[in-house]
């Protein structure tokens, strides 16, 4: 139950009224990753800093997972001597809005956050009206401004750092499977079954929570898959369109501001697999906090590729026209780095060989980000399954996924194309196993 509930939040809602032209990353909202209101953001940090102060005043020891992380970062333990120096630089370089002022405060905040489940914060706006805000990725919130620094770019890509971070996050995963983690599954204020919580879970026309999340019986004829034609491609995830790129190349300059895709890096530097998609199409969509977080599609081969957790492309802040932040705001760099993260974050790569030669080989990449970094496969190499069957899932939630099509696949994204511009509609919310496109 905990994995299911925790998989009900993450990522963002696309700005209304935009269309996505091939090769361009759209501006996106940050709800689910970052609180959208100042009141909720300040309330989260106010509560956290009070707990940090109390933790420090009582000289409480670190929990084992945090103690192990601190040891891994410390050069005296035989670790990379540059890491603790990079941490010090991170706190110097971080934007002045940063609330976590030093490494000790960061460790103590982790002591607190890794022993509590996500829930709701319900502050009030200036007019006294309650604001409902899920805090689904608290570790990301405290690392948000820290990650958007040059020092963090160097540190968060280090192998030793990512091994230590994986162990830290695995410990939180263990906690989220305990009875204690169910304490926010309540009808009380701040609980997921409160009026505010259920309203959030049932938004976006998802319907009643119970009817939505009762799984159909596998022996039933109608399992919700409308794709009966061999040329139809169904959506692998319930998600919202982010980006579409055509004619993708072996080594695109993915680190530039345009965030081009590098097939070679996306596919774990597998030259044979990369060659199959050169000149083809990449479709990327992201999962919002309340989306269904299991992947569905036919498959014949699969491999899991380990990656990074909090590495981002440092930038100059939010762009002009950002739907949530003023130009230059330092918040949310990792969300703006989603296209690049298809090459750097922990991900599962699944190759799908369609029976229909007009579709051919399809690549599916599930990208885990920050504390939602676990990609769990439910299939094995060589296994043949039906269209719409489960491939795997994001644990702790999810983030973004990509579909790769070869250069000879003539694909049309049916109802998701703006007839006036020919661009993919980026605020289109697509349900899992619904019709996504057609090959002809």
- Answer whether residue 419 shows pLDDT above 70: no
pLDDT at 45: 93
pLDDT at 27: 37
Q: Does 60 or 144 have the greater pLDDT score?
A: 60
Q: Is 397 in contact with 7 (CB distance < 8 Å)?
A: yes
pLDDT at 187: 92
Q: Does 395 or 27 have the greater pLDDT score?
A: 395
What is residue 255's DSSP assignment?
A: T
- Which of 12-26, 165-179, 290-304, 336-350 reaches the highest mean pLDDT? 165-179
pLDDT at 319: 58
C-alpha–C-alpha distance, residues 124 and 37, integer Å: 10
Mean pLDDT, to the nearest integer, of 64-80? 83
Beta strands in 67-113 (DSSP E): none
Q: Strand, coil or helix: what is 265? A: helix
C-alpha–C-alpha distance, residues 326 and 321, integer Å: 8
Average pLDDT over the chain, rounded to an integer: 73
- Answer whether residue 66 shows pLDDT above 90: yes
378 to 148, 179, 185, 186, 224: CA distances (angstroms): 34, 25, 27, 30, 20
C-alpha–C-alpha distance, residues 43 and 145, integer Å: 17
Task: Name which of 241, 250, 304 is nearest 280 in CA terms.
Answer: 250
Instruction: Kindly list the strands in the beta sheet with 232-234, ordered across the sheet, starting from the edge strand earlier in the chain.
Output: 232-234, 435-439, 411-412
Q: Does 198 or 72 have the greater pLDDT score?
A: 72
32: left (phi over 0), alpha (psi -120 to 50) or beta: left
Instruction: Report the range of poorest mean pLDDT among 147-156, 180-189, 345-354.
Output: 345-354
Mean pLDDT, to the nearest integer, of 18-31? 41
pLDDT at 226: 42
pLDDT at 14: 26
Please, which residues bridge with residue 439 across strands?
A: 411
Mean pLDDT, to the nearest integer, of 193-213? 70
Is residue 334 within a helix (H) or strand (E), and if so which, with residue range? helix 333-336
Q: Is 231 in contact with 438 (CB distance < 8 Å)?
A: yes
- Answer whether residue 348 shows pLDDT above 70: yes
- Decide the pairing of beta strands 281-286 and 294-296: unpaired
Please, which residues bridge with residue 232 across strands?
A: 438
Give the model confidence (pLDDT) of 121-141 as tens digits. Answer: 888 888 888 887 778 778 888
How much of the chain exceeds pLDDT 90, in percent?
18
C-alpha–C-alpha distance, residues 251 and 278, integer Å: 10
- Decide the pairing of beta strands 411-412 and 435-439: antiparallel
Task: Name which of 439, 399, 278, 282 is nearest 28 in CA terms.
Answer: 399
Query: What is this structure's pTM?
Result: 0.62
- How many CB atoms are located within 10 Å of the residue 383 CB? 14
Q: Is 329 in contact with 371 (CB distance < 8 Å)?
A: no
Q: Token pair for residue 345?
A: 């974050």
Give the model's confidence band at 214: pLDDT under 50 very low, under 70 low, under 90 confident, else very high: low
DSSP labels, 173-192: HHHTTSGGGGGGSSSSTTST
pLDDT at 426: 64
- Answer whether residue 224 shows pLDDT above 50: no
Per DSSP, helices labelled H in 224-279 are: 263-266, 271-277
Q: Does 303 or 169 have the greater pLDDT score?
A: 169
Q: Does 82 or 90 have the greater pLDDT score?
A: 90
Domain ranges in the chain are: 2-28+221-439, 38-201
Using CB atoms within 10 A of its CB, is residue 159 exposed (0-12), middle (13-18) or buried (19+)? Answer: exposed
Give the model's confidence band at 23: pLDDT under 50 very low, under 70 low, under 90 confident, else very high: very low
Phi/psi at 386 (5° precision): -80, 155
């Amino acid at each position: 139950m905990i994995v299911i509930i925790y998989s009900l939040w993450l990522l963002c809602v696309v700005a209304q009224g935009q269309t996505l032209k091939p090769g361009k990353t759209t501006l996106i909202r940050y709800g689910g990753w970052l609180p959208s209101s100042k009141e909720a953001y300040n309330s989260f940090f106010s509560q956290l800093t009070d707990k940090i102060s109390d933790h420090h005043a009582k000289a409480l020891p670190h929990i084992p997972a945090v103690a192990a992380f601190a040891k891994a970062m410390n050069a005296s333990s035989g670790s990379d001597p540059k890491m603790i120096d990079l941490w010090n630089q991170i706190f110097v370089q971080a934007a002045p809005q940063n609330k976590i002022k030093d490494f000790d405060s960061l460790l103590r905040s982790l002591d607190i956050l890794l022993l509590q489940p996500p829930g709701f914060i319900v502050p009030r706006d200036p007019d006294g009206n309650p604001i409902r805000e899920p805090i689904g990725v608290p570790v990301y919130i405290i690392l948000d401004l820290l990650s958007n620094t040059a020092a963090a770019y160097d540190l968060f890509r280090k192998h030793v750092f990512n091994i230590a971070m994986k162990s830290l996050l695995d410990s939180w995963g263990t906690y989220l499977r305990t009875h204690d983690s169910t304490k926010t599954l309540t009808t009380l204020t701040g609980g997921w079954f409160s009026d505010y919580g259920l309203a959030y879970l049932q938004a976006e026309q998802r319907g009643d929570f119970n009817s939505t999340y009762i799984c159909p019986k596998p022996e039933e004829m109608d399992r919700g898959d409308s794709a009966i034609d061999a040329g139809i491609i169904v959506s692998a995830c319930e998600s919202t369109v982010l980006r579409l790129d055509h004619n993708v190349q072996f080594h695109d300059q993915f680190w530039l501001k345009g965030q081009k895709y590098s097939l070679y890096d996306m596919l774990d530097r597998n030259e044979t697999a990369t060659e199959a998609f050169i000149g083809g199409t990449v479709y990327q969509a992201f999962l919002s906090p309340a989306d269904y977080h299991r992947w569905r599609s036919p498959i014949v081969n699969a491999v899991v590729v380990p990656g990074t957790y909090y590495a981002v492309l440092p930038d100059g802040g939010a762009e002009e026209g950002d739907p949530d932040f003023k130009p230059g705001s330092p918040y949310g760099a990792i969300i703006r780095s989603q296209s690049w993260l298809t090459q750097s974050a922990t991900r599962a790569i699944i190759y799908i060989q369609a029976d229909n030669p007009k579709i051919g080989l399809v690549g599916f990449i599930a990208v885990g980000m920050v504390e939602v970094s676990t990609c769990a496969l439910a299939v094995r190499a060589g296994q043949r399954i039906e269209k719409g069957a489960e491939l795997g899932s994001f644990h702790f939630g999810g983030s973004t996924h990509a579909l790769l099509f070869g250069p000879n696949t003539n694909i049309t994204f049916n109802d998701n194309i703006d007839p006036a511009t020919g661009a993919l509609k980026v605020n289109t919310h697509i349900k899992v196993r619904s019709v996504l496109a057609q090959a002809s």
